[in-house]
Amino acid sequence: MTTLTAWLTDPNPKSRRQARLGQAWLAWLRLRRNPPAVSGALIVLVLLALAAFAPLFATHDPFVQNLSQRLLPPGTPGHWLGTDDFGRDIWSRIVYGARITLYIVTLVVVTAPVLGLLIGTIAGYFGGWVDLVLMRLTDIFLAFPRLILALALVAVLGPGIINAVLAIALTAWPPYARVARAETLTVRTSDYIAAVRLQGAGAGRIIWGHVVPMCLPSVIIRVTLDMAGVILIAAGLGFLGLGVQPPLPEWGLMIASGRKFLFEQWWVATMPGLAIFTVSLGFNLLGDGLRDVLDPRSESR
């Protein structure tokens, strides 16, 4: 182990692979010294585990109704988080709801940041009228509140999980475009970009091979911090009946079904609400930690 650590921390790496692994090791050491970030990472890992092994963690089928056991309180034998108004086990529905939440988050992550990164790097690299047009388009999207714009898009596209993801992605890309543009404006005047350009590299190769990698750390930080907002918007759409549809165990939909029992059977809406709060907190804590690790400017603070 000592030999491996010395190899990873060698100030004069012998290969690109050793340099990259060494950077990853040092980043992990900085992240490990941040207890809130570690807590956030553990929460996200629990979410991943629940989503991946939902049949193992769930104690009941989340879709099976049992009206003879409806609205049982937490602590009931066999239903430690209680049951809802159809007699379905709340814990099992929360566990399977983690799959839906992770599915929505994953689809948004592979669409919105990619679109924003592409638009931002193109606008920042070319400048001029290209920058003007793309940034004014970005400003138009930023002028609308994300939830209101998502509601309008879902109202046009129709309810459903795919349309909800599409609506969230179309409202989430502008901040990534702004971040990528700001990073590109700094990078494009660098000496190594001028050297690559003198070697005959085209704009596409420069943007994809040199500008985008420099923008990735800032975009990754922004993605992690935005995950809480994505989860809340998805839950809001489900709460209003415009996102995931019954009988799927989506957390926002579960809160909507339990609001009419909020004063007497509070657990029906409170338990999925606590799940949303915990996962959102985990992503926020992890995002703060990644900002300290990936942002080189944080080292000077």
Give the residue extent of every domain in the chain: 90-295
Residue percentage of the chain with pLDDT more than 90: 42
Instruction: Say if CB 71 and CB 261 are below 8 A apart.
Output: yes
Q: Which two tokens stand for residue 184?
A: 């590109």
By three-state DSSP, how is residue 89 classified?
strand
| Average pLDDT estimate for 1-27 | 76
Q: What is the pLDDT of residue 301?
A: 42
- Dist. CA 61–CA 65, nearest whole Å: 9
Residue 127 gets the label, from left (phi > 0), alpha (psi -120 to 50) or beta, of: left
Q: Which two tokens stand for residue 64?
A: 């099976």
User: Is cis: bond before 247, omega within 30 of 0?
Assistant: yes
Confidence (pTM): 0.85
Which amino acid, 71? L
Does residue 226 register a pLDDT over 80?
yes
Does residue 65 register a pLDDT over 50?
yes
| Average pLDDT estimate for 125-148 | 90
Q: What is the pLDDT of residue 296?
A: 53
Mean predicted lDDT score pLDDT of the chain:
87
Q: What is the pLDDT of residue 192?
A: 81
- 265 contact partners, CB below 8 Å, separation of at least 6: 71, 73, 82, 85, 258
Q: What is the pLDDT of residue 138?
A: 92
Q: What is the CATH number of domain 90-295?
A: 1.10.3720.10
- Dist. CA 134–CA 235, nearest whole Å: 30
| Average pLDDT estimate for 95-122 | 92
Burial of 46 (0-12, 13-18, 19+ CB in 10 A): middle
Q: What is the pLDDT of residue 173?
A: 92
